[in-house]
Structure 1
């Protein structure tokens, strides 16, 4: 038996590149992303790409409308930040 994630997702739905992120965003959001990336210092660029990759993942999530509706209705399952950080550390993911 293998363990499966509770909420499976396709991590490659949006490539982790500036071009991949830009392609996944709406025209308005693409403009915001490009402006922010162009204004970033080299030290800030990685954080800009990471944040906008998350935005693009959310924008292209097939369940996005359902999640938005649940959040607005107050029925979206939640977790604590401490639990989330522990889970990310356990899974070997970055915690910033």
Structure 2
């Protein structure tokens, strides 16, 4: 038996690079992304890419409207930060 993600997504929906992120964002947000990335110190560029990748994944989520409605209605399932961090660690993902 293996655990499956609660909300699965196609891993390649938004590639984890600047071009992939920019392609998933609309014009105004794309410019904000590039502005922030270009202004970032080299040691901060990875964090900028991770944050904007999350934004791009949310923007391209086929269930995004349903999730937004649930969040506004107060019916969106939630979790603790501790649980989310532990889930990322267990999956071998970075935790910053």
Q: State the TM-score, normalized to the length of structure 1.
A: 0.93
Residue 25 (structure 1) aligns with:
25
Cα offsets for 1:9-50 (capped at 9, x unmatched):
112100111111101001010010011111111111111111
| Root-mean-square deviation over aligned CA pairs | 1.2
Q: What is the alpha-carbon distance in structure 2 between the residues aligned to residue 3 and residue 71 of structure 1?
A: 25
Q: State the TM-score, normalized to the length of structure 2.
A: 0.93
Gaps of 5+ in 2: none
Gaps of 5+ in 1: none
The reply on whether 1:9 has 2:9 as its aligned counterpart is: yes
Shift of 1:82: 1.0
Q: What is the alpha-carbon distance in structure 1 between the residues aligned to residue 36 and residue 20 of structure 2?
A: 16
Counterpart mapping for 1:1-96 below 5 A: 2-96=2-96
Q: What is the alpha-carbon distance in structure 2 between the residues aligned to residue 7 and residue 80 of structure 1?
A: 16
Q: What is the alpha-carbon distance in structure 2 between the residues aligned to residue 4 and residue 56 of structure 1?
A: 22
Alignment size in residue pairs = 96
Q: What is the alpha-carbon distance in structure 2 between the residues aligned to residue 83 and residue 45 of structure 1?
A: 26
Shift of 1:6: 2.3
Shift of 1:85: 1.1
